[in-house]
Amino acid sequence: MPNAHDVLFKTLADPTRRAIFERLVRDGEQTVRVLTGHSGVWQPAVSKHLAVLKFAGLVRDRREGRQTHYSAEPQGLAPLIDWMRLYGAFWRDRFDALENLLNRMDQ
């Protein structure tokens, strides 16, 4: 079973899915019909992308009558943010060590 990082990276690797997620973050809750109008792909494809985003924990859905409304779940990015924070600290430490070495070499 893939871990959360793998699922998020794979999900967000697709430009259409990223665009849908970004639209939901920026504009708030929207129906599949509205998302389809802005995506440039057919409704069945948008629905599949939304299913992948939902599986990854990046969107949630809400039924209202015959329509499904989708909204972003930005906290779904938490595993990715944690992963990036870990490697950000790693590289910051490496650059600090390099700077210290270069300072010692100058003296």
Q: What is the predicted pLDDT for the residue at 1?
A: 59
Residue 16's CB: how many other CB atoms inside 10 A?
14
The pTM (predicted TM-score) of the whole model is 0.79
Q: How far apart are CA 41 and CA 31, in angstroms?
A: 15
Q: And the tokens for 33?
A: 């019909």
Contact 40, 63 (CB under 8 A): no
pLDDT over 90 at 96, yes or no: no
pLDDT digits (tens, 9 = 90+) for 3-47: 878 899 999 999 999 999 999 999 999 999 999 998 889 999 999
Q: How far apart are CA 53 and CA 69, in angstroms?
A: 14
Asked which of 21-25, 85-89, 103-107 is least confident by mean pLDDT, the reply is 85-89
